[in-house]
Amino acid sequence: MVERKIELRRRRARKKKMTKLKDRLAAAKDAKERDVILAKISVISPWWREPAQA
């Protein structure tokens, strides 16, 4: 049961971190800042792609 708790804690922490990074990405001012944030996101979640802007 301990392994499951550790797994859930990691998942929740990753979700919280992704939320913060997505907020920073939305507020990014220039391309360099966006690239840095996207690199961090790809480390956490390699399959995540930025949604297409309409």
Distances (CA, A) of 1 to 4, 7, 26: 5, 10, 38
**Cβ pair 18, 41 in contact under 8 A:** yes
Whether the model clears a pTM of 0.75, i.e. scores above it, the answer is yes
Q: What is the pLDDT of residue 40?
A: 97
For 2-54, what is each residue's pLDDT tens digit?
999 999 999 999 999 999 999 999 999 999 999 999 999 999 999 999 888 76
State the pLDDT at residue 22: 96
At residue 54, the pLDDT reads: 64
